[in-house]
Amino acid sequence: MKNLSIVSLILLLAVNVCAQPSLGLKLWYDRPADLWVEALPLGNGRLGAMVYGNPAHEEFQLNEETIWGGSPYNNTNPLAKDALPEIRQLIFEGQNLKAQEMCGPAICSQGANGMPYQTVGSLHFDFEGMDSYHDYYRELDIEKAIAKTTFSANGVKYTREAFTSFTDQLLMIRFTASEKGKITFTTRYTSPYKDARKSVNEKMLQMDGKASDHEGIEGKVRFTSLVKVDNDGGRLEVLSDSTIKVIDANSVILYVSIGTNFKNYQDVTGDSEKTAIEYLKRVGTKTFEKYLADHSAYYTKFFDRVSLDLGSNEQATKTTDVRVKEFATTFDPQMSALYFQFGRYLLICSSQPGGQPANLQGIWNYQLRAPWDGKYTTDINVEMNYWPAEVTNLAEMHQPFLQLIEDVALTGKESAAMYGARGWTLHHNTDIWRSTGAVDGPKYGVWPTCNAWFSQHLWDRYLFSGDDRYLSRAYPIMKEACKFYLDFLVKEPENGWLVVAPSYSPENAPNVKGKREWVVTAGCTMDNQMVFDLFSNTIQAATVLSEDKLFIDSLQSVVNQLPPMQIGKWGQLQEWMQDWDNPRDRHRHISHLWGLYPGYQINKFESPALFEAAKTSLIHRGDPSTGWSMGWKVCLWARLLDGNHAYKLIQDQLKPTVDEKGQNGGTYPNLFDAHPPFQIDGNFGCTAGIAEMLVQSHTGSIHLLPAIPEVWAKGTVKGLRCRGGFDLQELTWENGKVKKVKIKSNVGGTLRIRCADKLQMKGQPLNIANAELANRLLETQKIKEPLITANAPVVTPSLSDTFLYDIDTKKGEVYELEYYQ
């Protein structure tokens, strides 16, 4: 590892970068939340709470990450193996609709389509004397992970604070007043579960419930939620078996604990009440201030690693909902930084080591059936949740998703076996039970290539970590995914290419002869890109670990037979093996651009024709879309090195809405991303996209300010991570040009920097990059030349707009560079 370089993509050991947090990182409002999409999210990975901030009728909507419907199961279809040859034959004969009809009973699940993520319910507080109030203010401080509400009523100032403790695993709420004896309220639970049991035990509220049966699978997750009331002054009364009243208190602290019987995806034999009581044993061991200090210290060690300063103006003095409304028309640089950091906040709060991955809504959901069941939708959404993890210095938050990959590599053996293949795979959805079958019918479910995308996360983590021990654990999972394709790929008759069949291009349909009748086909561009990526990365992993020479040879033989990418008749990157693309297609998925982002195969410098073809496809697909799709497009335009267009998509994404139905995108008042309804992947996608605008490291170099928009003419970012073993400790720019950069080398080797500006180090010009070295190191990522339709308008971009520099580095050293004319 000592002499590995950025270009060979061996990456950094995880580090803590102590960057100063930006100022003013708060969401704040001058009125309470009326809607769930106006409430403020708190979370510690396991517990989630939405805070409404209503003076008279406060509500905390509650979640716990393991409360899902159903129980351990899998949903594979044993008929697939025998039906596969006929399905493939129909596809190759052009009878795709008949093939699709066969896929329904033969491949898709005939039972459960996936279990829903569910809510706990809500904790309510009804206060006396609060119907008339003034000087109202509520905030979510994402630098400390605490929500606060203040207001005045009847001459008294009231303050309410709440946080979901990372260190003590409790939701803690404190009510205080400027005068003694002024806090009186009743508190109670509500729940959408008909059989939820509410009680008062030793002056402590308790609610017990059971998650729902769903699609024939018995609900076996049981939960217990407890509220311990600690009042200073006044008295406490039990009004009923479900309501407690606090009368004339000076201050009150409430400790909310939630436990379930979930142990792991195979085991629900725990004791929910015992677990909840165990958490409450921590109550009283510290002061509220100490609980908060410990909580914030844990949180800030992650959050403070990265800071982004793009400047500020008078917009930062306005409420967050007003800033969202005005973002498209009034320049608000601090809002871009706030939105970027809010994505990091959400990832820390919804994905903690040892827990479950962030689902389609992170951990925040108020319904018995979250939209799309809140499942892990694997044809982009759950992957997008983790796009910011490595680059924005939250590698620990990646761990729950990586664990899910390890789990489905086990349960997914059943999905591979149903096709008669070795290894493992899964389709376009999974859930807490790690189901891997094809669900939602043949128009959505016949997509057996998710294992390749999951494996990219394994490899990319290695590229950022450079940890051979981690790679030794990840490599067998990647190898088994390759074995699936060694058995599953089939030779198509026209060109003799090895292709995935049946499959489809999520979640789009080709326009063939003016009709969109079917989706199931063979050799979709996205599948080809992902299988190429999986095999190439596995070859590199085996090479690093000095393993499996014969296996490497077998993989390379398959790579040589995969279809090349193709440029179609109107200059587009083809989405399908045939030239079926419709230039008027505005579908939210842009699956065939996977090789541009999050993949590495298409870039301006090594594949210029494909780079322009991808741009043509993206232009025709259009900007308006669902919220998560606009987040993806920010990433894509950043990879296309067009910062102004990427910024335009950020403006589109920050379009205000309160709708919970539709596909028109936008952002809710609490900054949640709207499909609509709420999908958290849009938040994470845009955070990753902003990082890509500032630095890129996927092409064998650290590209500084690759897609900086004109409006961000000046700024500083600290703490981002780059592939190759490097920390971008600081990058400062003025007038759109790099002013200063500090980069730490964590594994040593050659640091390659790409920049539009001339740089020097300690007053000396840098060495221009070694072209021979670059060519040799890029051979392992080399893709096939594209096939180009006759007379297609092919454009190649100019490559003369950047400088390349090579710096020999030593492990642990920091290298400072600056602009010079």
| DSSP codes of every residue in 458-475 | HHHHHHHH--HHHHHHHH
Report yes or no: 452 and 423 within 8 Å, Cβ to Cβ: no
Residues present in the chain in total: 821
- Residue 772 to residue 752: CA distance in whole angstroms: 13
Residue 774 has pLDDT above 90, yes or no: no
- Cα–Cα dist 433/435, whole Å: 6
Rounded-to-integer distance, Cα 722 and Cα 716, Å: 16
**pLDDT tens-digit series, residues 289-346:** 999 999 999 999 999 999 999 999 999 999 999 999 999 999 999 999 999 999 999 9
pTM of the model: 0.95
Across 492-504, average pLDDT: 97
Query: What tokens does 86 get?
Result: 């006929």
Proportion of the chain above pLDDT 90, given as a percent: 87
Nearest Cα to Cα of residue 703 among 634, 645, 639, 774: 639
Q: Determine the residue type at 458.
A: L
Closest to 575 (Cα-Cα) out of 480, 509, 637, 624: 509
Taking the C-alpha atoms of residue 551 and residue 545, their distance in angstroms, rounded to an integer, is: 13
Q: Is residue 791 scored above 80 in pLDDT? A: no
Give the position of tokens 């489905």: 408
Q: What local confidence, expressed as pLDDT, does residue 10 receive?
A: 31
- The per-residue pLDDT for 799 is 63
- As a whole number of angstroms, the distance between CA 738 and CA 726 comes to 18
How far apart are alpha carbons 568 and 791 in whole angstroms? Answer: 9
Is the pLDDT at 23 greater than 70, yes or no? no
What does each C-alpha distance from 570 to 422, 574, 789 come to in angstroms? 40, 10, 9
pLDDT at 402 over 70: yes
Please state, for a pLDDT cut of 70, what percent of the chain lies above it: 95
In this prediction, residue 58 carries a pLDDT of 98
d(C-alpha 88, C-alpha 274), whole Å: 53
Model pLDDT, residue 498:
98
For all residues of the chain together, what is the average pLDDT? 93
> If we measure between CA atoms, which residue out of 685, 109, 104 comes closest to residue 427?
109
Among the listed ranges 473-487, 618-632, 797-811, which one has the minimum average pLDDT value?
A: 797-811
d(CA 335, CA 647): 12
pLDDT of residue 792: 79
HSE-up of residue 542 (Cα within 13 Å, Cβ side) = 23
User: Rounded CA gap, 250 and 480, in Å?
Assistant: 62
pLDDT tens per residue across span 87-138: 999 999 999 999 999 999 999 999 999 999 999 999 999 999 898 999 999 9
pLDDT recorded at residue 800:
61
pLDDT at residue 780, rounded to an integer: 41
Please name which of 688, 689, 660, 690 lies closest in space to residue 674, comparing C-alpha atoms.
660
Cα Rg of the chain, angstroms: 27
- Evaluate if residue 13 carries a pLDDT over 50: no
Q: What pLDDT is recorded for position 509?
A: 96
Interhelix angle for 96-106 vs 80-92, to 10°? 170
pLDDT at 278 over 60: yes
Picking from 266, 269, 525, 307, the residue whose alpha carbon sits closest to that of residue 411 is 266
Nearest to 787 by CA among 573, 547, 594: 573
Reduced to 3 states, what is the DSSP secondary structure of residue 291?
helix
Of the listed ranges 30-34, 49-53, 468-472, 781-785, the one predicted with least confidence = 781-785
Q: How confident is the model at residue 440 (pLDDT cuts 50, 70, 90)?
A: very high
User: Residue 29 in 3-state DSSP?
Assistant: strand
Element (H, E) at 91: helix 80-92
Residue given tokens 């074995």 in the structure block:
483
Q: Which tens digit of pLDDT belongs to each residue from 551-610?
A: 999 999 999 999 999 999 999 999 999 999 999 999 999 999 999 999 999 999 889 999
One-character DSSP codes across 717-748: EE-EEETTTEEEEEEEEETTEEEEEEEEESS-
Residue 7 pLDDT exceeds 80 = no
pLDDT at residue number 19: 34
Q: Check: CB of residue 196 under 8 Å from CB of residue 371.
A: no
- Judge whether 277 and 260 are in contact, CB under 8 Å: no
- Cα 186 to Cα 129, 172, 480, 665, 781, distances in angstroms: 12, 17, 57, 39, 64
Burial of 714 (C-beta count, 10 Å sphere; 0-12/13-18/19+): middle
pLDDT score at 770: 58
Average pLDDT over residues 749-753: 92
Fold of the 26-70+117-303 domain: Beta-galactosidase; Chain A, domain 5 (2.70.98)
Tokens of 384: 């997008």
Residues whose CB is less than 8 angstroms from the CB of residue 659 and which lie 6 or more positions away in sequence, other chains included: 666, 674, 676
Are the CB atoms for 729 and 814 separated by under 8 Å?
yes
In the structure encoding, which two tokens stand for residue 782, read together?
Answer: 């080399």
Phi, psi dihedrals of residue 243, rounded to the nearest 5°? -140, 135
Which residue blocks in 392-520 are alpha helix, DSSP H?
A: 395-411, 413-418, 450-465, 468-488
For the record, the structure tokens of 519 come out as 């989706």
Report the alpha-carbon distance of residue 249 to residue 125 in Å, rounded.
Answer: 14
Mean pLDDT calculated for residue range 175-196: 97
**Measured over all CA atoms, what is the biggest interatomic distance in the chain, rounded to whole angstroms?**
85
Tell me the pLDDT tens digit for each residue of 644-691. 999 999 999 999 999 999 999 999 999 999 999 999 999 999 999 999
Q: Across the strands, what pairs with 357?
A: none
232-259 pLDDT tens trace: 999 999 999 899 999 999 999 999 999 9
Judged against a pLDDT cut of 60, whether residue 820 lies above it is answered with yes
Check residue 476 and give its pLDDT. 98
Integer Cα distance of 754 and 774 in angstroms: 12
Alpha helices in 412-449 (DSSP H): 413-418
How many CA atoms lie within 13 Å of 313's alpha carbon, on the beta-carbon side? 11
Instruction: Map out the domains of the chain as residue ranges.
Output: 26-70+117-303
Q: Which long-range contacts (CB under 8 A, 24 or more apart) does 407-410 make?
A: 407/265, 407/434, 408/434, 408/436, 408/454, 409/451, 409/477, 409/480, 409/481, 410/434
